[in-house]
């Protein structure tokens, strides 16, 4: 069972692993990048009813872990959680044979890593499963002698002998220049945008969306899925939340890699500060392409420790993808934002379209009306923009 054939069900159950803000645009250098985790994150065993293995992790990371295993086997949540009517899962806590098998596999993976890899996540569900519920045991002659498939650009690592490349500074300077230059970017301190969103949770129908961003590093995206249902992703400069009506966890307060992701999205509105915000810059990746365009790859670390890869169009210098890797209980959850349709706005280039892809969803934002330097009320960011019943 692949996700693509199951979009309707997926959205009905509505679990998100990462935020859906995305968006990039512009501004000044050097926002304060202190990262704060909420004082007491809600733990998996406090909120869920039947957690036996994945204890002691925050609820957002628990759901991220579910996304990780679903992606590793390329199955939908219904594979292990039995669906009731209309594909809605009534009871995630109930055990099924596949769920019990998965629990056993989690313990097996933990034991393998402890015995052989110093307790790191070197062996994960993906290592064996690779989108297959029944990992093969015999080498395939067809695969061995067949055409070598292209590697996923997000997967490519720096080889032992790094490929000669411009320095990270040079690539980032070219990017800032391509956007309009540091001075012009510094003149922009806020964005408001209106447009549309289309995702699995809207059955790919376009619905209205709004985006707000304020220097330094605050952003909010609101998607009006229907009159009664909304998605909100917000980062207030310290803490982040994802609120989605009708989901397992209607309001998620973000921690770890997910918080890194929300902060990154907010910071990327004001990319002139990117050199200071991310650290441990690394280049030397083999040449690769995104959408058939040659790209230059730069890797960095976000303040919370997540690995981030940035892909710049080799010709235009513009950022075309940000891939990030959020740690879960079992391995790194990949997600990516692809930027396109850069347009000129007040002398700087702004992407009007972006696509967010994560382990159990994909969504497209199309902006039609983008304004810069419009005052934005503080109430548009953080807890105050969440639905009133917000708890976790």
Among positions 109-128, residues that touch ligand HEC (CB under 6 A) are 109, 123, 125, 127-128
Least separation in angstroms between CB 60 and ligand HEC: 12
**What distance in Å separates the CA atoms of residue 360 and residue 101, rounded to the nearest whole number?**
21
Q: In this chain, which stretch among 19-27, 131-139, 284-292, 374-382 interacts with ligand HEC, using CB under 6 A?
A: 131-139
Residue corresponding to tokens 């009006």 = 224
CB 153 within 8 A of CB 295: yes
Cβ distance to ligand HEC smaller for residue 97 or 375: 97
Per-residue b or e along 370-380, where b marks 16 or more CB atoms closer than 10 Å to that residue's CB: bebeeebeeeb
Cβ distance to ligand HEC smaller for residue 53 or 314: 53
Least separation in angstroms between CB 272 and ligand HEC: 37
**What distance in Å separates the CA atoms of residue 59 and residue 57, rounded to the nearest whole number?**
6
For residues 29 to 68, the per-residue mask of contacts with ligand HEC, x marking binding by CB under 6 A and - elsewhere, is -------------------xxxxxxx-----------xx-
Among positions 354-373, residues that touch ligand HEC (CB under 6 A) are 360
Least separation in angstroms between CB 80 and ligand HEC: 3
**Which residues fall within 8 angstroms of residue 46, CB to CB, at 6 or more apart?**
59
- The residue among 222, 182, 179, 235 whose CA lies nearest residue 33 is 235
C-alpha distances in angstroms, 202 versus 35, 149, 193, 206, 229? 32, 33, 20, 7, 10
**What distance in Å separates the CA atoms of residue 185 and residue 352, rounded to the nearest whole number?**
16
Q: Does 101 bind ligand HEC (CB under 6 A)?
A: yes
Q: Does 18 bind ligand HEC (CB under 6 A)?
A: no
Q: In this chain, which stretch among 103-111, 220-228, 301-309, 319-327 interacts with ligand HEC, using CB under 6 A?
A: 103-111
Q: In this chain, which stretch among 130-138, 201-209, 320-328, 368-376 interacts with ligand HEC, using CB under 6 A?
A: 130-138
Q: Does 129 bind ligand HEC (CB under 6 A)?
A: yes
Q: Does 276 bind ligand HEC (CB under 6 A)?
A: no
Cβ distance to ligand HEC smaller for residue 69 or 322: 69
**Which residues fall within 8 angstroms of residue 388, CB to CB, at 6 or more apart?**
none
Among positions 310-339, residues that touch ligand HEC (CB under 6 A) are 330
CB 267 within 8 A of CB 277: yes
Residue corresponding to tokens 């382990």 = 359
């Amino acid at each position: 069972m692949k996700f693509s054939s199951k979009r309707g069900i997926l959205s009905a159950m509505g679990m998100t692993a990462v935020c859906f803000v995305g968006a990039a645009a512009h501004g000044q250098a050097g926002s304060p990048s202190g990262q704060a985790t909420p004082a007491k994150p809600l733990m998996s065993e406090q909120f869920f009813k039947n957690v036996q293995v994945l204890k002691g992790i925050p609820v957002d990371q628990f759901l991220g872990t579910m996304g990780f295993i679903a992606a590793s086997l390329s199955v939908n949540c219904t594979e292990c959680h039995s669906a009731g009517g209309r594909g809605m899962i009534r009871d995630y806590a109930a055990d099924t044979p596949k769920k019990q098998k998965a629990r056993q596999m989690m313990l097996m993976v933990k034991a393998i890593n402890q015995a052989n890899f110093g307790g790191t996540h070197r062996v994960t569900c993906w290592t064996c499963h690779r989108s297959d519920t029944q990992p093969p045991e015999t080498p395939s002659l067809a695969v061995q002698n067949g055409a070598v498939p292209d590697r996923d650009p997000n997967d490519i690592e720096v080889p032992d002998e790094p490929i000669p490349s411009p320095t990270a500074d040079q690539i980032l300077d070219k990017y800032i220049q391509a956007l309009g230059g540091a001075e012009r970017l510094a003149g922009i301190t806020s964005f408001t945008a209106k447009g549309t969103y289309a995702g699995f949770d809207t059955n790919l129908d376009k619905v209205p969306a709004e985006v707000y961003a304020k220097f330094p590093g605050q952003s909010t995206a609101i998607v009006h899925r229907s009159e009664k249902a909304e998605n909100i992703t917000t980062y207030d400069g310290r803490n982040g939340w994802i609120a989605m009506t009708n989901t397992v966890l209607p309001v998620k307060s973000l921690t770890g890699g997910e918080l890194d992701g929300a902060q990154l999205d907010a910071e990327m509105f004001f990319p002139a500060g990117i050199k200071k915000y991310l650290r441990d810059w690394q280049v030397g990746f083999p040449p690769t392409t995104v959408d058939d365009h040659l790209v230059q790859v730069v890797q960095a670390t976000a303040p919370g420790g997540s690995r981030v890869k940035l892909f710049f169009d080799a010709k235009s210098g513009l950022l075309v993808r940000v891939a990030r890797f959020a740690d879960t209980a079992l391995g790194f959850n990949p997600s990516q934002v692809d930027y396109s349709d850069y347009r000129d706005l007040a002398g700087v280039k702004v992407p009007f379209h972006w696509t967010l892809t994560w382990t159990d969803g994909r969504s497209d934002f199309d902006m039609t009306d983008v304004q810069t330097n419009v005052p934005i009320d503080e109430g548009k960011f953080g807890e105050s923009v969440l639905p009133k019943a917000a708890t976790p």
